[in-house]
Amino acid sequence: MEEQETQPQEVKVVPEASMTFSPLDLLFNPRSVAIIGATPRENSVGGVITKNLLTKFKGKVYLVNPKYDEVNGIKYYKSILDVQDNIDLAVIAVPAPAVPKVTEECVKKGVKVVIIISGGFSEVGEEGAKLEEELRRVVQNRIRVLGPNCIGVYNAFNGLDTFFLPEDRMGRPRPGPVALISQSGAVAGAILDWAARRNIGVGLAVNYGNKLDISEAELLEYFARDNRVKVIVMYMEGLKYPGEGKRTLEVMKEVTSVKPIVVYKAGRTKAATGAVKSHTAALAGNYEVYRAMLKQANVIEADNLTDAFDMAKALATQPLPRGGNRVLVLTDSGGMGIQAVDALDMRGLQVPELSESLQEILRKQLPPLAVTRNPIDLTGSATDAMYKFVLDTVLPTSYVDMALIIALMQIPGLSINLGNYIVEARRFGKPIVVVSFGGNEYVAKFESNLEENGIPVYHAPHRAAKALWALYEYAKIKGAAKEW
């Protein structure tokens, strides 16, 4: 794997007029968007979406709301049918009872895909379910629908952002190689906010709500095609429709042969099954069966959301291990080193003792107290240069396939420059993860320097170990690494 850049190149996915595009392409990369239910009232759902698109979207925006003619010099249309231009995507944020009618208008207008933000359908009981059936009759293969009852799409590359959470409440992540599919809208919003704060590049995110039409399987297929996406993270509660399990499994299996999928499936316990059912109006089903699906589809299962992003960060930035599962552990703290070895061993990764001849070379340059077997413990007298020396000496050899580097920056011998040495070690083409732990600003600077240069940083050895495990698992799936 040569693609190691954290800032993926701008690949052109924006549709051009002369070509035809699938509805899913238009969902994420429209040239023109109409907001039905647009409003200048900033604290409303329609208002936040209106503001998002007017200020950030790199394309044409048309506002539709019969209550307004013009606000701040921007024209409002009575109906989408009054817009002269072609509309690639319509975003619907009107009260539920009005949704079937405006959707019908979108069909007439020739719109190929709509995002229905509005809630008040099958998630609220019988009346809502009837309304959803009415909407289904309007839709009938004439138009594609994301939602209803969803938060829609976030695309950091083109500024398409239907997340109706104001910017001061939900930070927006930078463009980057991670794509998120979330069954829950609120969870999607919280994840993006969390990712923005940690500078994790989540370039694309989507929530599909009641899934009247567009399913997680189709979204996975789209993300598999989009070159900007290196890894797909999915938050999933349960599938909804009879028989859709097989198709989801098939699609997942195809996608994982192209790029990794990390899934966190919530609603694992009997106690939570009822909650899943009422939350998603889905049949939920036994967690064991979902686990079976994930295993069969070569999906990497996460235990929680931070776990999912820990692994995604590594999968998005690191090459896959080619030889096997042997890890170099390089540390300035014996205690941290032991924790790392425990965590690696529990995940089935090896920390092999280095050969005597290689240790001899290391011993000649390192202080007498340093331990050279692997873990290599440079102790509290470690310096940047010692780390560089060990990395340059051991990482290119065939004794190890990956590196877990622990750098407790509290000791005086280490500086920000250590980060540059670690970044340079990427040239050996082996996965590298770093454990850093602390609270001062110097540590924070060290960490952000690494992350900006494509080295994932973790605040505990077990999290870094799990990230390496995910790389090894995916390498096995891709047939890159040998089974040990």
Sites of contact with another protein (CB under 8 A)? 238-246, 249, 283, 285-286, 288-289, 291-293, 295-296
The contacts found for 425-428 with CB under 8 angstroms, 24 or more apart, are 425/391, 425/392, 425/395, 426/4, 426/454, 426/455, 428/391, 428/395, 428/396
Question: How far is residue 471's CA from residue 223's CA, in Å, rounded to a whole number?
Answer: 20
Nearest-approach distance from CB 283 to another protein, in angstroms: 6
Which residues are CB-neighbours of 147 under 8 A, at least 6 positions away? 115, 116, 117, 118, 208, 209, 210, 212
The residue with tokens 């599962």 is: 325
CA angle 209, 210, 211 (to 5 degrees): 90
The residue with tokens 């390089």 is: 330
The SS3 assignment for 89 reads strand
The SS3 assignment for 39 reads coil
Q: Alpha helices of 216-333 — where are they, by DSSP H?
A: 216-225, 244-256, 270-280, 287-296, 305-317
How many CA atoms are closer than 13 Å to the CA of 386, on its beta-carbon side?
27
Q: Alpha helices of 282-383 — where are they, by DSSP H?
A: 287-296, 305-317, 334-346, 356-365
Nearest-approach distance from CB 235 to another protein, in angstroms: 18
Cα dihedral sign, 307-4-415-201 = negative
Q: Which of 404, 394, 407 is nearest to 357 (CA)?
A: 394
The contacts found for 76-82 with CB under 8 angstroms, 24 or more apart, are 76/38, 77/34, 79/105, 80/34, 80/36, 80/105, 80/106, 80/109, 80/111, 81/105, 81/108, 81/109
DSSP state of 368: T
Tokens of 483: 């089974």
Nearest-approach distance from CB 241 to another protein, in angstroms: 7
Question: How far is residue 155's CA from residue 204's CA, in Å, rounded to a whole number?
Answer: 5
